[in-house]
Chain A
Amino acid sequence: MADYEVPELKEYAVVPLPEDDTMKGLKPFVAKPDFQEALGYPGKKDETKENTYLLVDGWHDKAIDKMGDLLNRYRGFRVFMDSCVKCGACTDKCHYFLGTKDAKNMPVARQDLLRSVYRRYFTFAGKFFPKLVGARDLTEDVVEEWYSYFHQCSECRRCSVFCPYGIDTAEVTMAAREILAHIGRGTKYSNEIIGKVFTIGNNLGLPEKALANVLEGLEEDVEYDIEVEVKFPLDKKGADILLVTPSADFFAEPHIDGLIGYAKVFHATNTSWTLSTMASEAANFGLFIGSYENMQRISMRIRQAAEDLGVKRIVYGECGHAWRVGYSFLNTLAGPFDFLDQNYPIPQHICEFTLDKLEKGELNIDKSRNDDMTLTFHDSCNVARASGMGDKPGGQFTIPRAVIKHVCNNYVDMEKDTIHDATFCCGGGGGLLTDDLMEIRVKGILPRATALKNVTEEYGVTHMAAICAICKSQFTKVLPYYGFTMDQIVSVHQLVSNAIILEGQVDPED
């Protein structure tokens, strides 16, 4: 299946001895100048070679200038550059290190690729005594090393949880990527996608006509299945709720089963809701590439759609990093949302919405309809470590689990050092969910796959639920390398959809 070694699953995660350069040179495809320019970055094609891109003219000074700019804009970034004491607490916390053994994938070592250059150009000691303080010049080799290793980090922030100084590795990776983008080294994957959001409205590039076709098809399917007319409204002016959800929910499996679940919950509770063509995407890859400007531009679509449609509330579907941007930054990026109903969270997560209805007994649920499964739940990194949910601390852990337990009889958590804020990344987050990075995705899933295997063997877990489009796609694609099957991954609202009984529902005879 692969031209590299797929790590062996052991009983427990083994911390490997670091090795040098096992992942050296692994890089995502570089964004061509068209993709770069659409986002406000420069690009330069090598006219002598196919699909090859050069660093832009004056790249060295431009990179240092950009670093200086970021140091001034984000105080946290400067603190993170200065405050590491090399205690080593982060070293064995990264799924990519555990899966690849590459010494530079220890979070401290990856950060130091940038920190060493910071010291050389921005500290007194580094300017005058570089060797004494481990400072180094910015060379083309350093740039390529950055491009490789800062795309072997999914910005999941597990290492940050264990850092006694609270250094946020994701911020360091984002800064590195932002610097790289400014000298012609953006990635094809993220930048092409952001371009599509601006031109078409979503990551997939799903035009309005196709979106409408998918939604009509879903209405037909649901009616065919249960003889209830469940609506999937698009651009309905005056609806109460605007639902923004990852475009994968319109396209991929098991994502689309989650979308059916949202629609059934809205139907069952007589909630007036709509999707939007303009904001037919919750995801915000501006976060992944560390670009405040692009993150803001993407967020403004959601505000615009909410205003145009005249909704009162915004609800987010199952998308991990979208929820981070929505929960943590939306007001700063696109606020104030004084035109929305202030009695509800702005925005609200779909799990929060559904749990409220479940707790009030407004949904007719038959849990036994999920009895063919024993579930576990994967905490998605951006939800777990970079957001909250509901009005209690830790709601981002308890609310999705409570939803699952309301609709399923069989539920088991994975080992406690692999869930909640210690959750392991799926291995495909942070802009790495692309085939050109398959090797790091396969190796990085190792700790999660280990924990899943353990609950499978000990407690008979058959399925793992998630609330992130990236997690779902990564798992369905990569867990099969470890002997699991793709249908073992489910959406949380797919479980709700299975168990809910709508008024007038007629079940098909099997």
Chain B
Amino acid sequence: MSFEVNGKTFETDEEGYMVNLLEWEPGCAEAMAKLEDQPLTDAHWEVINFLREYYDEYQIAPAVRVLTKAIGKKLGKEKGNSKYLYELFPYGPGKQACKYAGLPKPTGCV
């Protein structure tokens, strides 16, 4: 599987996650979201950008709690909860947002 951004092809695995994470560019998020009919607003980008920053440092997606805390700090307490994140990413912030951000899918009993 793959998707295209400006004529460049990006390979994905069976579940639509990017194979080569280093290739990610903002257009990738837009393209993957479009495939799932998910419009990306500034609110979505706040989450995506945080995920990428965290991944750069820790080589894994943040725990749900870490993510909600960070978003709460940035956007206000009323948004620092998983309900808000699920409104943005109905398939789950852990999985859907990670996909758009070009992070590997969290595995295990989650």
Contacts and interface: CB of A to CB of B under 8 A. Distances in A.
Nearest to B91: A435
B109 A435 contact: no
19 contacts: A51-B13, A51-B14, A203-B109, A204-B106, A204-B107, A210-B58, A214-B65, A217-B63, A221-B65, A246-B109, A247-B109, A250-B63, A251-B63, A252-B109, A256-B64, A319-B109, A435-B15, A435-B95, A436-B15
Contacts of A172: none
A267 interface: no
A281 B15 CA distance: 25
Interface in B89-110: 92, 94-95, 104, 106-110
Contacts of A51: 1, 13-14
Interface string B68-103: 010000000000001000100000101100000000
Contacts of B104: 205
Given A193-B107, A248-B108, 15 more contacts: A50-B1, A51-B13, A51-B14, A196-B108, A204-B60, A206-B60, A209-B57, A217-B65, A218-B65, A248-B110, A251-B106, A252-B110, A256-B63, A469-B108, A469-B110
A209 B38 CA distance: 33
A173 B82 CA distance: 37
A113 to B, nearest CB: 25
Contacts of B69: 217, 221
Interface string A468-508: 01101100010000000010000000000000000000000
A213 B58 contact: yes
Interface in B45-68: 57-60, 63-66
B107 A252 contact: no
B107 A477 contact: no
A202 B63 contact: no
Contacts of B57: 209
Interface string A189-215: 100110010000011111101100110
A361 B106 CA distance: 40
A253 B65 contact: yes
A196 B107 CA distance: 9
A255 B64 CA distance: 11
B15 A205 contact: no
Contacts of A162: none
A210 B59 contact: yes
Given A192-B107, A221-B69, A252 B58 contact: no
Contacts of A435: 15, 95
A433 interface: yes
B3 to A, nearest CB: 13
A469 B110 CA distance: 7
A207 B64 contact: no
Contacts of B108: 193, 196, 202-205, 246-248, 251, 281, 283, 469
B12 to A, nearest CB: 10
A221 B95 CA distance: 24
A469 B109 CA distance: 6
A256 B107 contact: no
Given A253-B65, A256-B63, A188 B14 contact: yes
Contacts of A206: 60
Contacts, number: 94
A433 B109 contact: yes
A470 B58 contact: no
A29 interface: yes
A213 B63 CA distance: 10
Contacts of A248: 108-110
Contacts of B15: 29, 435-436
A204 B14 contact: no
B109 A283 contact: yes
A207 B59 contact: yes
B92 to A, nearest CB: 7
A88 B66 CA distance: 50
B58 A209 contact: yes
Given A51-B1, A193-B108, A283-B108, A253 B82 contact: yes
Interface string A429-456: 0000101100000000000000000000
Contacts of A193: 107-108
B60 A210 contact: yes
A205 B60 contact: yes
B106 to A, nearest CB: 6
B110 A204 contact: yes
B64 to A, nearest CB: 5
B92 A470 contact: no
A252 B64 contact: yes
Contacts of B107: 189, 192-193, 196, 203-205
Interface string A320-363: 00000000000000000000000000000000000000000000
Contacts of A472: 109
A252 B107 CA distance: 11
Nearest to A196: B107
Nearest to A247: B108
Contacts of A188: 14
A436 B14 contact: yes
A283 B110 CA distance: 12
A214 B63 contact: yes
A435 B107 CA distance: 11
Contact of B65 (A256, A281, A477): A256
Given A207-B58, A207-B59, A473 B14 contact: no
